[in-house]
Structure 1
């Protein structure tokens, strides 16, 4: 299937800039954050400019999801009033600052990071089409990267919260393996699933950021892995989505990677992750179930989680190690990377996932995280990267899942994919005029 090219205007990668180009880009991001970021309801706070610091990321403008303690504002956790207790600044912020990166703002998010559609109190808008969801819960982070308001953004991922908005907004996002990056100074949702996540316009920029964040140097692989196409995931996807992602896989099938197909979607892991997420989230935020400042839908979701017994939660967690080992053995093997769509469906219209709408379809809401949440349960690293565009001009994402510790390998694969394609870095169609009219 031929991808639709909704825009030819492009936004540069940070790794493609140098010297005065980076200085100008930082100032441009600040202007866009105040204008386009506000227009898209993706900004919670804009931070004052600080003196430039030297380092490998000197001047790189980034934002943080408004659940990170930045030391510059009290996080709201997506709620109408600040929720966070006094926490020390998140260590990942310290790492980026020490590398010279510039924190320019805090991005909006859905309430308590517990809404996959991205619909929240701020009414954040997808920069490609305002009638489509932007994805959640790291909603503003993805929007701001996609819109050229920053070059990178911090997020969190409990069931797909960086990969889903990356798909919907057409950017790259990395979810490291469980426990790989410390989550100090951040809100907890479901502690057994919560992970750090990061967005950038390209995999090359993620590869620039990853050594600073992880403390691990990047090293080229001596041998590229097998790409294991999860056939049953493609079979259960919309035909258009499956065809677009298969087309992207074909780009990798040039002799450097062996492409194999097999069934292996971990259905049992998917069932258990819902138990863990609902049970832990309700216990973590029990005191907010009766809070009138919290949305009705979220309070009902939290209340429902309390009906899950401690025994059922314990059983679901106890099954995890065996299911992870089974998935690695049967699908990944010694040198495999699983490949599947980020979403099995096209990016939904807002009214399809809004419980207040007469067009609300709970199956669509459920499907949003169908291919992402099991990865959190298994604790494996995953990366989302643009794979093309659907017939409505919306971006579509490909997801790579690797063995523990394979973050650098996933980035290497994605970098090679983007060296041969031009799907990333395009100016989103709904804001193209705003970008074009800039002085």
Structure 2
């Protein structure tokens, strides 16, 4: 399939990287330095030019394109790109937008603006924050099979009770599969005797209850069910959407915004959130308002450095857990090392959502881990699958290394896979897959 990606920034580059092995990808950007960088780093064709111009789209091969992804940093530009693509061809169009208002307008009339699918960066980021907040210690989380199955990734700290245990010793949870260990640049498919080390990231798949129990064991702070109060620092759209989602969960939420006019606006639009107008980098204010008594602080200010500072101040006054918005993806690991518990990068979240949608044509759902080093797929089993009416221990021999069957759902019930488990037609399987073998895996499954 010919795919045109307009915008070679972080979002566009990540999308191109995830699609280049399966599709004929053309990347368009006005910036010559970005075009040069992506030409040497990815197996894609490039066109330097304005993606809103018909001539540029024609040079990119719009007449043969099946998919156009508009991923520049300007919402209106992305919408115009999709409209221009529809004017000269008939591709499926995807637009990235930051403004949730534009997303809501499009949702009321899908197909408007010439956009077939719209991804809201701010809303996706807020949803990611809330998912992670629900699992203490989790760096990533996603649900599958209509909520029956959950995947989560946890970092094993030096003082974790898991450090030094074998997988068989750690496997004490009902309906839970230890899918993989991410150790440095290596992806390890664990056996019973595999030793879990400090610094590993561990990926588990199973029932929501088992994953939550595992999370409580790995990191004792409370899960979202037990959270009583959350403090959000910042008043931008990500902060507002996050507060709105926490409101829907019935959680007491306080939001701190320095600008008086914006604080007043948020107070009017978030009726269940207590909005405080102040500078959250003032440690005396944090002490005076008993921020230390909150279960979680979400830092969503207008700069990465401010978000790190707020997180460190929150830790200093006694807050157990912090989540921060980190716009520069290269800072995420650094910030998590020096004190931020979880960094959420809006551009990576958006790129993953767009890639997930493109992959969904072959699978029911997709979650990407560690910037697409690995994927967790939900696939409905048909008669042409190697799993069809076959015990897993036999079927796995016909699959490439790097695949783990994490969970099975059948008629609304969860089945924990074992070697002797026979997969039936129409079962949904949730599978961990090393990205290097994802093409072979999806073809076989």
TM-score, length of structure 1 as denominator length: 0.25
Computing the radius of gyration from Cα coordinates, the structure with the larger value is 2
Higher-strand-fraction structure: 2
